[in-house]
Amino acid sequence: MAEDRTETGKGAAFRAKHRFAPTSAHKARYAVDLVRGLPVNEAMERLQYSPRRSAFLVGKVLRSAIANAGQDLDVDANRLYVSDARADDGPTEKRGKARSRGQFFGILVRHCHISIEVREMPEGGLPGRRRRVRGAGRKGAAAVNSKEA
């Protein structure tokens, strides 16, 4: 796991990576999507109770990013949030098994690169997530909602 810091002080981004993680990127994205945009305390709690193996790997990377932020004296670890989280494809090992009648069954062993970036929360807190209003895209949805009200 590597450490990288883009700037110092307020607004600094602290990163951690796990390259060649022994799971597919598709499986790791389930855990990465759980924590993106959350405060680090809530993100760690969600990963702790997730039954997926990839959640353990993402948790290790998140702990590393928090520790990287802890190296900076100006950063409060309780005010950190996950600003960016990715699980990119890594290399694929091609293995195989010999089968009956001269056949060969191929096995693909996939790997991924897990990257997490944490930042300190802005003073006003995290901006609320924009949620899609049910029926907002339909024609005449406003008229139906106004009649019911």
Single pTM value for the model = 0.76
Q: Is 128 part of a structural domain of the chain?
A: no
Give every strand in the sheet of 80-98, ordered side by side: 2-5, 13-21, 104-120, 80-98
Residue 133, in any domain of the structure = no
The per-residue pLDDT for 12 is 82
Q: Which amino acid is at 135?
A: G
CATH code for the domain in which residue 45 is found:
3.90.470.10
* 3-class DSSP state of 97: strand
Q: Does residue 130 sit within a domain?
A: no
Nearest by Cα to 45 from 82, 1, 92, 99? 82
Residuewise pLDDT in 10s, the chain (149 residues)? 655 555 555 678 999 999 999 999 999 999 999 999 999 999 999 999 999 999 999 999 999 999 999 998 788 888 999 999 999 999 999 999 999 999 999 999 999 999 999 999 888 777 666 556 666 666 655 555 555 54
Tokens of 140: 């005449």
Does residue 16 fall inside a structural domain?
yes
Q: Tell me whether residue 74 is in a domain.
A: yes
Examine residue 137 and state whether it is found in any structural domain, yes or no: no
Residue 148 lies in a domain: no
Cα–Cα nearest to 4, from 91, 111, 116: 116
Residue with tokens 């924590």: 35
Which residues are paired to 4 by β-bridges? 15
The pLDDT assigned to 125 comes to 75
Could you list the residue range(s) of the whole structural domain that residue 49 is in?
2-123
How confident is the model at residue 21, as a pLDDT?
A: 97
Task: Show the tokens assigned to 37.
Answer: 């945009």
Q: Does 40 map to a domain?
A: yes
Looking at the structure of the chain, the number of domains it has is 1
pLDDT of residue 142: 56
How far is it, in rounded angstroms, from Cα 134 to Cα 149?
Answer: 15
